[in-house]
Chain A
Amino acid sequence: MAGQIHRIDRDRARFKEVVRGRIREDLQRYLASSELIGKRGDRVVSVPVPAVELPRFRFGSNEAGVGQGPGEVGDAADGRDGDADGGAGGAGEQEGSHILEAEVELEELASMLGEELGLPNILPRGRDELDACGGQWSGIRGQGPESLRHFRRTFRRALVRTIAAGDFDHQRPVVTPIRDDQVYRALKPKPRPESSAVIMHMMDVSGSMGREQKDIVRIEAFWIDTWLRSQYRNLEVVYIVHDATAKVVDKETFFHLRESGGTKISSAYELCLDLIKERYHPEDYNIYPFHYSDGDNWSARDTERCVALVRDELLSRVNQFCYGQVKSAYGSGQFKKDLDTAFQEEPALVTAGVDDRAGIPGAIKAFLGQGR
């Protein structure tokens, strides 16, 4: 019996293949939609796969049903307050129309992305770092030379054991460590620099960046993170918002904050530079600043200031500097032109314009297509 039941493993594996095939087919659509965002765990992404069901003759939306419970005619059928947040419609959904979530490893999603857009793997920045293997004596293990014995921890373990065994005598507090109590300091390998990276997402949150513009940024950022996460073992992400001033925020705030002030892009670039100088030293990190705005800046003077910052300070410290310009109803789009003019011959500075969601894959390809 058991052997037969384990046929299911084969069918599950096949199902997962089918799902992956479906995702691959639909990757262009996923690339331009926000479906996957918020579905990402540490290692896996839950991908909603509505299309994996075989098509059948089914009833459409004007099907009534029968329910059970208290309430007046006109009340919500599930007994919940009718004024609650919209969006979660379709309480009486038919069997079979459920959306299935398939878990896909992050690595695999990234490799699909890589295949789809033809992205090259990122080459190590320099030779030196390859050998840079260090570590700190912050680890603990059960064996080691006596010279590395961690006295405090060893004593603590012995004390806990003595108390637990009921042998502890307050009058005569003698604690004798035995072999099992002894622990030793160990070398904890420190991540090698070439495997560490930091992404700095900077976004203009001034009044002219609307909801759709931010969604586009969000989707782009998701895929950029996914790709770089597959390339670096340790990835940190920093979020910076700016209008006339810049500040570091958490992810939630980054995507939902809306300010109304003017726009001074140099404020973000300065903050970015400060962070690099203080925390993310180029010798320890691969650094990827991404800046998104609708292309309006406060003044031509501030734009000059930005160009100078990028040219003189940032480019020498980062792997690549990317600017994504999202089209909005108010933005002039001038900033991209200015950057393009100033850095015609600079491969480490990439700009891309995104008119709408359909432009997202193109922008991702431009940003990540150089393998830097």
Chain B
Amino acid sequence: MVSGPSLTPRLLREAQRAEAAASDAGLSFFEVVFEMLDAADVNAVAAYGGFPTRYPSWRFGMEYERLAKGHQWGLSKIYELVVNHDPTIAYLVRSNSLMEQKLVMAHVFGHADFFRNNAWFAPTERSMLERFEEHARRIHEYVGRYGQDRVERFLDVALGLEPLMDPHGPQRRFRAAESRARRGGGPPGTTQVERSRRSLRLVMGDEPPAPDPGQRQRPTFDLLTFIAEHAHLEDWERDVLGIVAAEAEYFMPQRLTKIINEGWASFWHSRLLTGGLLEPSELIEFADCHSSATQAAPGQLNPYKLGIELFRHAERQGLDLFRLRAVHNDVSFVDEVMDEAFIERSALFVSEQGRGGEGARIGSRDHRRVKQELLRSLAWAGQPRIELVEVAGGGRRDLVLQHHHDGRDLKLDEAAAVLRTIEGLWRAPVQLLTFEGDQARRLTANGGEVEVREAEAPPSALPSRAG
């Protein structure tokens, strides 16, 4: 269940001890493969999101520079990297001390358990290593055929539209497929699938009705996929959009579960190490390392700290921790566990941007507002909700997008740039309805120019599905 071809015998023994302790505690995971890397190589793997075989893009180079600088200046240090995959792949950093490796290994089993058992990961493909390689191979082929510049330019366009997806879409499709299988009298789902379905009902309520075929374009948040399917594109361009959409979909559950996943892994590394894995002589070093990973910079929120404290709070309340990790994403986890006492003890506050270039200020300590702001910032994977609400008919193909304004304005200049990009792909005007404060705005991209106008308030009663 655990292997580490590049580990020293000593570390492999520690890995086996950590695995035994994790299993005894009730964690369950796919096989875990440990790989030992130098710090620079870990930064490289991290820049590729854990998949060093991905297609070439300068953006990975940029990410690497960012990580390497952070490392060089001692601002940040990557201790480990765990890839959601079957087997689960965990990269360790050679420069870590023995105690750090032990801590990291226990942490890794926490993540591995989470990846396997959390409902939001149920739809993800566990053999993405091959998929990513296949994507890279196709992109290389396009570069060979259409030239580096052209492919890179298009890839940039596609990556710019990457966030235009429904964060809950994979989950919904997964459930729809499942219920179809059930109605079709197919074989009952595997234990894991059954389990995630049960947990999903807890989180999301009942399934939405199946889409009605023959209806005209329904509103959708999956704008990138919509463009890939319906825009007048060359085949290779369509494929590139599809690749970007598929990879974004794979990473989405991790973005939805940052706090709960890190909290779960930190909770277990702490529990397992202090529960027997640690030598007495390592205690001080452990305390030092653990507290620096779970400390909050002044005024900021550390997902490790918030997550582990929420789990400890839940444990004190007698909640079933294993159920929590099985069913929740960050939003629902915070919503269920965070209460007034927790907010007060953790000294959470709402921070507001000061006027005139001042730094952020403490705006409120009211627990309802704190929770509301936190949930709002986590919802929809932290992105603005942009929905395609209409495709003009009658020979016109204009797209009408709507920003679901929740009190937070868009950066209009950047929004205008995105609209120009979409217009370029779609080859017809694109509109965006949004608000600037209380004032409704309509941005129209037409012929490479974007016009911003005051608009009638858009109908606010649009169905917002899945939240």
Contacts and interface: CB of A to CB of B under 8 A. Distances in A.
B72 to A, nearest CB: 12
Contact of A76 (B35, B62, B359): B359
Contact of B411 (A7, A58, A77, A79): A58
B333 to A, nearest CB: 15
Interface string B353-389: 1100111111111000010011001000001101000
Contacts of A16: 61
B185 to A, nearest CB: 43
B61 A11 contact: yes
A59 B384 contact: yes
B410 interface: yes
Given A5-B44, A91-B299, A12 B360 contact: no
B346 A78 contact: no
B424 to A, nearest CB: 12
B349 A77 contact: yes
A11 B410 contact: no
Interface in B4-46: 35, 37, 41, 44-45
B350 interface: yes
Contact of B64 (A12, A17, A73, A75): A12
B354 A8 contact: no
B47 interface: yes
A18 B62 CA distance: 10
B64 A8 contact: yes
Contacts of B462: none
Interface stretch (B96-104, B156-164, B166-174, B282-290): B156-164
Interface stretch (B51-59, B208-216, B260-268): B51-59
Interface string B260-278: 0000000000000000000
Nearest to A16: B61
Contact of B52 (A7, A62, A87, A102): A7
Contact of B359 (A56, A64, A91): A91
B360 A57 contact: no
B56 A14 contact: yes
A344 B43 CA distance: 61
B384 A11 contact: no
A64 B41 contact: no
Interface residues of A, number: 55
Given A2-B41, A68-B301, A79-B299, A89 B354 contact: yes
Contacts of A1: 35, 37, 52
A59 B410 contact: yes
Nearest to A18: B58
B115 interface: no
B298 A69 contact: yes
A171 interface: no
Question: Which of A55, A70, A74, A100 has the largest count of B CB atoms less than 10 A from its CB?
Answer: A55
A90 interface: yes
Contacts of B370: 66
B293 interface: no
B427 interface: no
Contact of B61 (A4, A14, A67): A14
B408 A92 contact: no
26 contacts: A7-B53, A7-B56, A11-B56, A11-B57, A11-B61, A11-B64, A13-B61, A15-B59, A58-B414, A59-B411, A64-B352, A64-B363, A66-B349, A66-B351, A68-B305, A68-B306, A69-B298, A73-B363, A76-B361, A77-B299, A77-B351, A78-B298, A89-B354, A91-B359, A92-B300, A100-B65
Given A14-B56, A60-B412, A89-B359, 5 more contacts: A56-B160, A58-B411, A63-B408, A74-B362, A89-B358
Interface of B: 35, 37, 41, 44-45, 47-48, 52-53, 56-62, 64-66, 152, 156, 159-160, 163-164, 296-302, 305-306, 346-354, 357-365, 370, 373-374, 377, 383-384, 386, 403, 407-412, 414-415, 417-418, 421, 437
